[in-house]
Amino acid sequence: MIPKRLEFLISPELPPAQLSEVFSAAGNQLFLVGGSVRDAFLERDVVDFDFATDARPDRIIELLEPWADTVYTVGAAFGTVAARRGGRVVEVTTFRNEIYRDDSRKPQVTYSDDIVTDLSRRDFTVNAIALPLMGMEPVDPFDGLVDLAHGVLRTPLDPSVSFSDDPLRMLRLFRFQASLGFEPDPTALEAVRSMSDRLEIISAERIRDELSKLMVAPAPGTALAGIVETGLANHFLPELPTLAMEQDPNHRHKDVLAHTFAVVDKASPDLTLRLAALFHDIGKPDTRQFGPDGVSFHHHEVVGARMTRRRMKALRFPKETIDDVAQLVFLHLRPHTLKMGWTDSAVRRYVRDAGDLLPLLNELVRCDVTTANARRERLIQNGIDELEFRIAELGAKEELARLRAPIDGHEVMGYLGIGPGPGIGDIMGLMLERRIDQGPFSKTEAYQMTREWAIARGMSDPGPPPDEEE
């Protein structure tokens, strides 16, 4: 009898049932495997389907082409063929062994004719369950269903073998801890501690992708702590362990590493925001100073933004993501510097500097409050409430999202009768500063300001400003 939670898999409208008929008719085995099976048993949404077969890649392509709208062969050299039909994506992979050479970033792939051998080379037992669509009797040689029930992450083979086969699995161990809420098996953790340096052979791009998945999991904090504790972070995020700064008995300050994990967990699962939370205090170790008033971390946001850029570039993040995360790190202290209230000019400058990142910046600032002092937390949150109120209040009067001078550079050049040059940037900058400091002003005032600027620099008097209508 098919368990109720798996009944949807035999629907003739879905790829498992459809492809089962295709491969069976061709005389080939086909199993649903990996995360598809795991999530089906956990009653989680299954969006994409992963299959394993004894058919070789060329044969897989032949069988998929009549069925699929599109077939993707980019992974065929490693035994995997992807296909799309309607809104569904499937991956079909030949039974295989996958072993990394000691100095290689790419796997050496050898094929197998045995599903059990294929399952033995998978990352964790909860992902090493195969489901034949004919009969629906799970193939579970490594007790993955037991580990699913107990919420344990264990490798099918000895973890030293599994992690040597693909060292990225050490990072994936913590990614699944964060996304599934499962606990790593102690032997797996010990293996990570002893062989974490093997991560060095993995490409920055693969590490980046795995880290990104971890960062948007429901609660990454505990997993990040495990990455630091096992020494794995030293090989791709070496700045993170340094946040566990030794506490001076006479100049105590909060545990910056624990605080960082708490901020990450509080933040919404947006990759840019979570990365900013991870890096927001990364500049503190390099800026810590002891003085008569205690410990200070002056300009750690400036140093941190620079360090953030360097680390994210090393991990091959896209430039836009790097720019956004670094800007959030740079600005995350801004609201705390204005303790005397938010003037109109301060609000305009804050909105201008944050730009499209404004909602993420405001959330980061709120998440950065992890004090156990309820009164202090309330004061800080009230201050952020006031800031958001002032933004809304001023935004109702002015177009805060488009802070700019009343005239543009072309109009300035036409009025002065000059071509492009650094001077145009200077006067445009002065007008923007006036707009921020004093609020909206007219085109006539802008031209008059330009006229005075030109005369002060020994340029010819351009004459009276054009009428406002012009």
Q: Does some domain include residue 362?
A: yes
For residue range 364-395, what is the model confidence (pLDDT) as tens digits?
998 998 877 778 778 778 878 888 888 887 87
The mean of the pLDDT values for the chain is 88
Statement to judge: residues 134 and 168 lie in one domain = no
More confident residue, 131 or 373: 131
Task: Output the pLDDT for position 6.
Answer: 84
Q: Does some domain include residue 470?
A: no
Average pLDDT over residues 303-327: 97
Residue 233 reports pLDDT greater than 50: yes
Q: Of the candidates 176, 210, 236, which is a domain's last residue?
A: 236
For residue range 27-73, what is the model confidence (pLDDT) as tens digits?
999 999 999 999 999 998 888 899 999 999 999 999 999 999 999 99
Statement to judge: residues 414 and 393 lie in one domain = no
Q: Does some domain include residue 462?
A: no
Statement to judge: residues 200 and 259 lie in one domain = no
Domain that holds residue 321: 254-401
Task: Output the pLDDT for position 98.
Answer: 63
Q: How many domains does the chain have?
A: 4
Average pLDDT over residues 298-327: 94
In this prediction, what percent of the chain has a pLDDT beyond 90? 55
Q: Of the candidates 401, 418, 433, which is a domain's last residue?
A: 401
Average pLDDT over residues 227-249: 85
Residue 361 belongs to domain with CATH number: 1.10.3210
Average pLDDT over residues 408-436: 88
CB of 157 closer than 8 Å to CB of 141:
no
Statement to judge: residues 371 and 446 lie in one domain = no
pTM of the shown model? 0.83
Q: What residue type is assigned to position 84 of the chain? A: R
Average pLDDT over residues 230-246: 90
Statement to judge: residues 295 and 378 lie in one domain = yes
Average pLDDT over residues 452-460: 88
Statement to judge: residues 97 and 176 lie in one domain = no
Confidence of residue 325 (pLDDT cuts 50, 70, 90): very high
For residue range 69-78, what is the model confidence (pLDDT) as tens digits?
999 999 898 8
For residue range 165-204, what is the model confidence (pLDDT) as tens digits?
899 999 999 999 999 999 999 999 999 999 999 999 999 9
Statement to judge: residues 110 and 13 lie in one domain = yes
For residue range 272-312, what is the model confidence (pLDDT) as tens digits?
999 999 999 999 988 777 767 666 677 798 999 999 999 99
Task: Output the pLDDT for position 470.
Answer: 46
Residue 250 reports pLDDT greater than 60: no
